[in-house]
Amino acid sequence: MAKNKKIDNKVVCPKCGTKNATKAKYCSNCGTQINKAIDRQIPKLKIFILLLILMFVSITGSLGIFLGFNNDSFKENVADKNLPPSQSSTQNSRPPDLSKMSPREAADRLFNRVMAASERGDVNEARRFAPMTIQAYELIDNINLDGLFHLGLMNLVMKDKKDVMSFAQRIKDEVPNHLLALFLEYKVAEMAQDANKKSKIGKIFLKSYPKEIKIDREEYVAHRISIEDLRRTLKAVNNNKQSLKEKVSAESGSSLFLKNCSMCHGKYAQGSKMGPPLVHKVYEPSHHDDASFYRAVDQGVEAHHWSFGNMPAIKIPRDKVTKIIQYIRDLQLAAGIK
């Protein structure tokens, strides 16, 4: 690696030539690590900081939650190379041996805790530990693509769109059509409620998927559930776009939804700036049954899950509401929501 040049108290990135502050750890333009030499001088300090972070986690949180969880959505994070099956049965009974834990293992422990908290809806805990997790990953030299994806997810938790995009770009600098980089970009577009951007990224994702998924990348194995969830969602949207073109009847569920509901809930029930997505686990049948949809149309409903404001009552004949509900259920089923 070329030595960093100093010009006017600035450090010049050896990769792209951008001037950076002398204390900058990464290039502000391309993300290349520019003060690696400084890191080598303080390895003990890095380990000490990680130990302090993990001690804080152990003291302030439940070790049972921190060291292991039963949610199937995050078995991909727990049952990976960092947590072999021989250890999984003892994780809940005793704390980890911090002295034998690598910096990456320590960072992954924090990552798993944040993701578990996020999955069960504990936003406060997720956001409390996400910055700590980011700091832990930033202490790792030569972080791989999986680590960059983890950093992107942590910044998603913090709703920091700019930093999420920067980590997505660092992944794409190595693999232009990397599925997890596209995943991060799609989530940012979703957060910004940018339908055009979502559509553009979704097309690239689906086009890249067949070739990319055949490549034996460790991060694809670790995060296959997330990749497949996004793929199913995108395919469902595409299928329903085609369905809308084919169903020309003014009385079809799709046409009725488009006429009466799409202004707020989006053309394909994916949500908009005016209202929430109905193709969402919040509205799965076990939580919002068909009767709740009838009531919402007949009586309106006060905002409680989202911050879009109250929904007013809408005058639609009941038989047409039935067709709209069936259309929404078909969309949900196509997206894996049962």
Which range has the top average pLDDT, 8-22, 56-70, 131-145?
Answer: 131-145
Please state the φ and ψ torsions of residue 322, each to the nearest 5 degrees.
Answer: -60, -45
Residue with tokens 């369905």: 243
Q: Would residue 289 count as lying in a domain?
A: yes
Q: Looking at the 3D structure of the chain, how many domains does it have?
A: 2
Q: Would residue 63 count as lying in a domain?
A: no
Mind listing the pLDDT tens digit for each residue in 226-268? 999 999 888 887 766 555 555 545 568 888 988 899 999 998 8
Nearest Cα to 98, choosing from 60, 127, 132, 56? 56
Report whether pLDDT(3) > 80. Answer: no
> Strand pairing partners for 11?
6, 20
Report whether pLDDT(24) > 80. Answer: no
Tell me the pLDDT of the chain averaged across its residues: 78
Q: Would residue 258 count as lying in a domain?
A: yes
Confidence of residue 7 (pLDDT cuts 50, 70, 90): low
Report whether pLDDT(64) > 80. Answer: no
Specify the pLDDT at position 201. 94
Q: Would residue 232 count as lying in a domain?
A: no
Contact 218, 146 (CB under 8 A): yes
Name the 3-class secondary structure at 164.
helix
Comparing 32-46, 69-83, 104-118, 310-324, the range with the smallest average pLDDT is 69-83
Report whether pLDDT(90) > 70. Answer: no
Q: Would residue 192 count as lying in a domain?
A: no
Q: What is the 3-state secondary structure (H, E, C) of 83-141?
A: CCHHHHCCCCCCCCCHHHCCHHHHHHHHHHHHHHHHHCCCHHHHHHHHHHHHHHHHCCC
Contact 206, 200 (CB under 8 A): no
Nearest Cα to 282, choosing from 216, 230, 328? 328
86/20: higher pLDDT:
20
Specify the pLDDT at position 193. 87
Sequence letter at residue 54:
L
The token pair that represents 56 in the structure block: 């804080």
Specify the pLDDT at position 25. 66
Report whether pLDDT(134) > 60. Answer: yes
- Burial (CB count <10 Å: 0-12, 13-18, 19+), residue 6: exposed
CB burial string 208-240: b at 16+ within 10 A, e below: bbeebeeeebebbebbeebbeebbebbebbbeb
Confidence of residue 60 (pLDDT cuts 50, 70, 90): low
Confidence of residue 81 (pLDDT cuts 50, 70, 90): very low
User: SS3 breakdown of the chain: % helix, strand, coil, rounded to 5?
Assistant: 60, 5, 35
Contact 192, 209 (CB under 8 A): no
Q: What is the 3-state secondary structure (H, E, C) of 203-265?
A: HHHHHHHHHHHCCCCHHHHHCHHHHHHHHHHHHHHHHHHHHHHHCCCCCCHHHHHHHHCHHHH
Specify the pLDDT at position 143. 93
Residue with tokens 């993990």: 54
The token pair that represents 142 in the structure block: 């030569």
Specify the pLDDT at position 235. 83
Specify the pLDDT at position 43. 52
Domain hosting residue 26, numbered range: 5-39
Q: Would residue 89 count as lying in a domain?
A: no
Report whether pLDDT(132) > 80. Answer: yes
Q: Would residue 50 count as lying in a domain?
A: no
DSSP 92: T
Q: Would residue 124 count as lying in a domain?
A: no
Q: What is the largest CA-CA distance in the chain?
A: 74
Mind listing the pLDDT tens digit for each residue in 141-199? 889 999 999 999 999 999 999 999 999 999 999 999 999 999 999 999 999 988 889 98
Specify the pLDDT at position 72. 39
The token pair that represents 308 in the structure block: 């879009």
The token pair that represents 97 in the structure block: 């041996």
Report whether pLDDT(112) > 50. Answer: yes
**For residue 274, what is the domain's CATH number?**
1.10.760.10
CB atoms within 10 A of CB 192: 12
Contact 184, 168 (CB under 8 A): yes
Specify the pLDDT at position 213. 93
